[in-house]
Amino acid sequence: MAPGVGSVGIGKNAAQAALGGGRLAGGDYDHGLFIAPTIFDHVKWDSPIAQEEIFGPVLSVLRVPDFAEALRVANSVKYG
């Protein structure tokens, strides 16, 4: 799988990749498909990376104005 394809690729299309997201290479990494730890910032609550699970070392940051909105966003996912 090429870098930027799959779940992390979907994330790159939906939010700002603040850190990582590329394929790791060199040494033992050349014998598999390893993705660097990735942080997405400014993720919208209804985007695919907020609503579905990304398989990999990925963190999505959703910004909300207050605690009540944080609860609403946290409870808005299909798989709760």
pLDDT tens digits in sequence order for the chain, 80 residues long: 444 445 666 666 667 777 887 889 999 999 988 888 989 999 998 888 888 877 788 888 999 999 999 999 989 887 76
Structural contact between residues 39 and 61, judged by C-beta atoms closer than 8 angstroms: yes
- At 72 the pLDDT is 93
Using an 8 Å Cβ cutoff, are 59 and 39 in contact?
Answer: yes
CA–CA dist 52, 46 (Å, integer): 10
In the numeric block, the tokens 């997201």 are attached to 21
pTM summary value: 0.70
Can you give the pLDDT at residue 7?
Answer: 61
- List the structure tokens of 49: 């990376």
